[in-house]
């Protein structure tokens, strides 16, 4: 049975006109980085819920999510309106298996995120596990516009702490931004632009975690398969582990 807790909004940070981070204080169980929760709100007499990945690390005091205000969405526009002190329902127990425990060992860990899926990887990068397990960690964040490249301070700090391990690449698809790849993630791999820029070949030494937009996940998975990699399953370990945010 789902156990819901009342949470209180501490901050609703607006990065752009439709991208935000919500910080919530709630008595919930500790999660594992990579897991998600469900948030619930009463909308027109119905209790409506949606899933959101933790962007906060397990030891962070507040539950933090990054979310997009989906135009004509049922739930996210309501999240966008929340103010400090407002109440929301939060699931006590975190859910999901998109965690580093499920990833086989390897030399390189590639973290591929579209939009709000950056949060799931920030949660992981705030823990010690990936830094102990992998030689190189390549975080690729794909967004539409430069203004969507959020959490720059945190990423700079992670880079400062792990200068030889972390490689951060950005892909901006709808405007030309200096220093960013100007196309979608699957293209960056099929053209080998990403591999060339980081000087790492795609082979079984690399583990790939893909999160966010289902099209990115589908197309990138196909490209990675063409390099001889397979989906990671508990029964049959592989190199590609995915989490879709919608169907
Ligand atoms: C495991 C899991 C984790 C998730 N984590 C996050 C998260 O951390 N942040 C987040 O914003 N959403 C996340 N989602 C999506 C979230 O649950 C909602 O679907 C989203 O907030 C839209 O709800 P809505 O009622 O406003 O839109 P709906 O009326 O339900 O419309 C859904 C449509 O919104 C679009 N959409 C949904 N999510 C996104 C997104 N993240 N970016 C761009 N377009 C989107 C898609 O076109 C989708 O078909 C997650 C979903 C799953 C299954």
Burial of 207 (0-12, 13-18, 19+ CB in 10 A): buried
User: What's the pLDDT score for residue 77?
Assistant: 98
User: What's the pLDDT score for residue 70?
Assistant: 97
77 CA: nearest ligand 1 atom: 26
Q: Name every residue whose Cβ is closer than 8 Å to that of residue 68 and which is 6 or more positions away in sequence.
A: 18, 19, 20, 76, 115, 116
Chain-wide mean pLDDT for the chain? 97
Rounded to the nearest angstrom, the distance between the alpha carbon of 70 and the centre of ligand 1 is 7
> From the CB of 114, is ligand 1 less than 6 Å away?
no
| Minimal-distance CA residue to ligand 1 atom 40 | 68
| Minimal-distance CA residue to ligand 1 atom 31 | 73
User: What's the pLDDT score for residue 164?
Assistant: 97
pLDDT classification of 2: cutoffs 50, 70, 90? confident
Rounded to the nearest angstrom, the distance between the alpha carbon of 217 and the centre of ligand 1 is 15
User: What's the pLDDT score for residue 153?
Assistant: 98
Q: Which residue has tokens 């820029």?
A: 197
Query: Is the pLDDT assigned to residue 73 strictly greater than 90?
Result: yes
120 CA: nearest ligand 1 atom: 8
Average pLDDT over residues 172-191: 96
178, 170 in Cβ contact below 8 A? no
Write out pLDDT tens, residues 108-158: 999 999 999 999 999 999 999 999 999 999 999 999 999 999 999 999 999
pLDDT classification of 179: cutoffs 50, 70, 90? very high
> From the CB of 52, is ligand 1 less than 6 Å away?
yes
User: What's the pLDDT score for residue 186?
Assistant: 98
User: What's the pLDDT score for residue 202?
Assistant: 97
Query: Is the pLDDT assigned to residue 1 strictly greater than 80?
Result: no
User: What's the pLDDT score for residue 100?
Assistant: 98
Domains and CATH numbers, the chain: 4-91 (2.40.30.10), 100-244 (3.40.50.80)
* CA pair distance 55, 153, nearest whole angstrom: 15
Average pLDDT over residues 236-240: 98
Average pLDDT over residues 173-193: 96
β-partners of residue 37 are: 52
Write out pLDDT tens, residues 46-59: 999 999 999 999 99
User: What's the pLDDT score for residue 191?
Assistant: 98
User: What's the pLDDT score for residue 45?
Assistant: 95
Average pLDDT over residues 18-33: 98
| Minimal-distance CA residue to ligand 1 atom 22 | 76
> From the CB of 164, is ligand 1 less than 6 Å away?
no
Rounded to the nearest angstrom, the distance between the alpha carbon of 240 and the centre of ligand 1 is 22
């Amino acid at each position: 049975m789902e156990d819901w807790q009342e949470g209180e909004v501490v901050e609703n940070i607006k990065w752009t006109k439709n991208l935000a981070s919500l910080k919530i204080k709630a008595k919930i169980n500790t999660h594992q980085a990579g897991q998600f929760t469900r948030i619930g709100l009463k909308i027109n007499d119905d209790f409506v819920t949606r899933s959101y990945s933790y962007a906060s690390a397990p030891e962070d005091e507040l539950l933090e999510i990054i979310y997009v205000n989906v135009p004509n969405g049922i739930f996210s526009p309501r999240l966008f309106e929340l103010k400090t002190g407002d109440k929301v329902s939060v699931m006590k127990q975190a859910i999901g298996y998109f965690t580093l425990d499920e990833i086989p060992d390897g030399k390189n860990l590639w973290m591929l995120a579209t939009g709000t899926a950056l949060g799931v990887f920030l949660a992981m990068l705030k823990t010690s596990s990936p830094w102990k397990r992998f030689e190189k960690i390549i975080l690729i964040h794909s967004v539409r516009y430069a203004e969507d490249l959020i959490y720059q301070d945190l990423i700079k700090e992670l880079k400062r702490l792990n200068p030889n391990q972390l490689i951060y690449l950005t892909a901006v698809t709808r405007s030309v931004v200096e220093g960013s790849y100007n196309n979608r993630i699957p293209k960056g791999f099929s053209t080998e632009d990403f591999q060339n820029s980081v000087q790492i070949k795609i082979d079984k030494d690399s583990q790939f975690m893909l999160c966010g937009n289902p099209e990115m996940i589908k197309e990138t998975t196909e490209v990675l398969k063409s390099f001889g990699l397979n989906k990671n399953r508990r029964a049959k370990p592989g190199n590609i582990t995915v989490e879709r945010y919608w169907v």
